[in-house]
Chains A and B, each alone.
Chain A
């Protein structure tokens, strides 16, 4: 029996895959306009390279593999936005105090932290606000790991970063978020 070979049917792409691809993109880049752009670029790239489609994978798998590249490209772009895209330092980077807390960044006790507040809508809004203040790279990795709950290995593979790289980003993002929530919620 001949092996089944998939064929491309671009006229049906939107109906069949737009939502799937959009969802795939939006949980990674956390921005629906950007996700929409990535999906559109994926379809365009798919049309352009349709002649290279060998039919070994399904149409959807093939489109997802294109979108994956778009997500990595986006991550690399925001990762290379040096300078403006860094979080504030919390620890001395060198000298005798290397690795110690910088005085004005030392955690303070919270006046206003109660378990029952966790479901509070205002708190969620403040949290979203603090996350949105993170440089994009930090927000993206933090959210993939913490909000979308991806495995470490999967994030590393998808963004082409090492695990230690990932933990540095998570650590900086969390320290920054802690400080933001402290200033704007817990001790406000």
Chain B
């Protein structure tokens, strides 16, 4: 049956859903996912929640990018000493 290749299981459906959170699911993927939704309430719920989680992760990404990571002067001095001992 032609239709059969559009059928996917929940593991595959949620994988596509995760991909699409980064806008990286293909059109065929999305067709398969939407067909899956017709008969699976659990993955529909997963997807709804996943969108919420994505906005949460976005918030985390934003606050994370504001941090500038630096070594302290003490750490740098220690690092310098350990290098000098090897030169």
Tell me how many residues of A have a C-beta within 8 Å of chain B.
Answer: 52
- Given A18-B79, A19-B70, the answer on whether A118 and B24 have CB atoms closer than 8 Å is no
- Residues from chain A with Cβ under 8 Å of B19 in the complex: 167, 170
Q: Which of A32-40, A52-60, A80-88 contacts B (4 or more CB under 8 A)?
A: A32-40
Number of A-B residue pairs having CB atoms within 8 Å of each other in the complex = 111
* Nearest CB on A from B19, distance (A): 6
* Nearest CB on B from A92, distance (A): 8
| Cβ–Cβ contact B83 & A146, under 8 A | no
Interface residues on B, range: 35 or more
- Given A47-B83, A113-B52, A178-B49, the answer on whether A167 and B69 have CB atoms closer than 8 Å is no
Interface of chain B, helix or strand or loop or mixed? Answer: helix
Partner of A107, one of B9, B46, B63, B86: B46
Complex: how many Å from CA A180 to CA B4? 34
Q: Could you list which residues of chain B lie within 8 angstroms of chain A, going by C-beta atoms?
A: 8-12, 14-15, 18-19, 21-22, 24, 42, 45-46, 49-50, 52-53, 55-57, 59-61, 63-64, 68-71, 75-76, 79-80, 82-84, 86-87
